[in-house]
Amino acid sequence: MTNKKKSPKAEKAWSGRFRAKTHRLMDAFSSSLAVDRRMYKQDIQGSIAHSKGLEQAGVLTPQETKAIIRGLEQIRAEIEKDRFPFAPTDEDIHMAIERRLTELIGPVGGKLHTGRSRNDQVALDLRLYLRDALGALVKTARQFQQALLDQARRHLDVAMPGYTHLQRAQPVLLAHHLLAYVEMTERDKGRVRDLLARMDEMPLGSGALAGTNYPVDRTYVAQLLGFAGVTQNSLDAVSDRDFVIEALAALSILIMHLSRLSEELILWSSQEFRFVELPDAFCTGSSMMPQKKNPDVPELVRGKTGRVYGHLMALLTTLKGLPLSYNRDLQEDKEALFDALDQVSASLEIVTKVMQGLSVNRETLGKAAGAGYILATELADYLTGKNVPFREAHAITGRLVRWCLDHKKDLRDLTLADLRGISTKFEKDALDVLTVEGAIERRSQIGGTARKRVEVRLKALEKVLA
């Protein structure tokens, strides 16, 4: 923590009841300042609205309110210029700001906390912070989607093998594959919007746990802070962190999607696949093996995914045994949430760059798209068209693949005679279905990989993002 000025020796706000000072180990153990100081802006925003509420209720005079607001604004400037004198006795950002306010404007600063507890204050600050952070995250997610859409548009003519069980299954368009991640991210954003709507309630006025006895118009304060409504139960408002858990769950799902894409980038950029090349600026080399180019970004994203899940499990576990209402355990919520937010937004941002700089090896993809008996389903479907029941068609085609394997032939090398050697149901148009383009174009239902379909969806998604 920067401490450019000499640390002031302030008494603790609650020291009246105590005979002895707290042990230095206790101060260090219970302090959350290093973690929660990043909520300074939201804390000040909440305090300004609270002071206006107190003024409207006649608890503060207009002059007192003005002095408090001016003091708070000066504090904001001090923190932003890194000139705020944090004290070792500041338990958290709330105490630090309140202490400084009294230093700056005198005893009237002590009136700000009227009708408020740190319990409803922190419940408010956390909502305000999360609202801002998730708003920014949705924007970052949109940029990530845009990078995928741009690559999809650039490669609308590129086919690749589609996989199940990581075995070549059926050809698909690379654009179709990329758009799958755009769909996932669209739902990720939807989850964030859902939780933002659910947590859109202002908790101030809940006091420590029982509510407030000052005639503050809570709805007015909520309006000042841009909330749709106010919390309806003070015990609930100061003690639940379900909105933090929802955020961690949404972040976990989002980064899980990012991790799957990362796994594919790692596979695809390997010598074994050679489907893509990652941009140099986002890879590293080996200190020992000069030929290496390592896919560090997707590996780190995959690694961070475990870390983010850990935060979700941590907070679920923290909350499961807590009696109502506030317990100090809840202070641990912020480190988990902030780290998850940091890791997910950094991952989104850098994967966006990687996707923008990704070069696609059209030739390798094109070759792979037709190899490995990937067109076998086309022949089975062909036979179904000749009124052969699908199960029988599947069996015939299976025998054909077996024959090819035994004779070291690819499906595309076959002659009509080869086909008829397996089944006389094959007629001379059978060979026509053995093309990658045909296999793709026939998947033309909504959701399929036919180029026309993919183009329509691409356009629709571009419109959603615009």
Query: For residue 439, which phi and psi values (nearest 5 degrees)?
Result: -60, -40
Instruction: Select from 54, 247, 330, 336 the one that contacts ligand ARG (CB under 6 A).
Output: 330
- Separation of alpha carbons 16 and 18, rounded Å: 6
**Which stretch in 80-88, 116-124, 266-274, 391-399 sits in contact with ligand ARG by CB under 6 A?**
116-124
- Separation of alpha carbons 331 and 382, rounded Å: 64
Number of amino acids touching ligand ARG (CB under 6 A): 10
- Separation of alpha carbons 164 and 407, rounded Å: 26
Task: Rule CB under 6 A: say whether 122 interacts with ligand ARG.
Answer: yes
- Please say whether the beta carbons of 222 and 274 come within 8 A: no
Residues 171-230 that bind ligand ARG (CB under 6 A): none
Task: Rule CB under 6 A: say whether 119 interacts with ligand ARG.
Answer: yes
Residue in 7, 270, 286, 444 annotated catalytic? 286
Instruction: Select from 55, 64, 90, 92 the one that contacts ligand ARG (CB under 6 A).
Output: 92
- Separation of alpha carbons 225 and 50, rounded Å: 10
* Minimum CB distance to ligand ARG smaller for 309 or for 326: 326
* Minimum CB distance to ligand ARG smaller for 9 or for 328: 328
Residues 307-326 that bind ligand ARG (CB under 6 A): 326
Residues 388-447 that bind ligand ARG (CB under 6 A): none
Residues 27-56 that bind ligand ARG (CB under 6 A): 32, 36
* Minimum CB distance to ligand ARG smaller for 50 or for 118: 118
* Minimum CB distance to ligand ARG smaller for 186 or for 335: 335
- Separation of alpha carbons 410 and 216, rounded Å: 80
* Minimum CB distance to ligand ARG smaller for 122 or for 248: 122
CB of 9 to ligand ARG, least distance (A): 21
CB of 64 to ligand ARG, least distance (A): 25
CB of 335 to ligand ARG, least distance (A): 10
Instruction: Select from 185, 331, 352, 449 the one that contacts ligand ARG (CB under 6 A).
Output: 331
- Known catalytic residue at 165: yes
User: Quick one: tokens of 116?
Assistant: 């408020």
- Please say whether the beta carbons of 276 and 359 come within 8 A: yes
- Known catalytic residue at 50: no
* Minimum CB distance to ligand ARG smaller for 290 or for 321: 321
DSSP percent split of the chain into helix, strand, coil, nearest 5: 65, 5, 30
* Minimum CB distance to ligand ARG smaller for 170 or for 239: 239
Task: Rule CB under 6 A: say whether 116 interacts with ligand ARG.
Answer: no
Which residues, 6 or more positions from 66, have their beta carbon under 8 angstroms from its beta carbon?
A: none
CB of 30 to ligand ARG, least distance (A): 8
Contacts 24+ apart (CB under 8 A), 210-219: 210/234, 210/235, 212/115, 212/116, 213/115, 214/54, 214/57, 214/59, 214/114, 214/115, 215/57, 215/58, 215/59, 216/50, 216/53, 216/54, 216/56, 216/57, 216/59, 216/115, 217/53, 217/56, 217/57, 218/53
- Please say whether the beta carbons of 34 and 114 come within 8 A: no
User: Quick one: tokens of 364?
Assistant: 């390798």
Residues at the interface with ligand ARG (CB under 6 A): 32, 36, 92, 118-119, 122, 326, 328, 330-331
Would you name the residues annotated as active-site residues?
165, 286
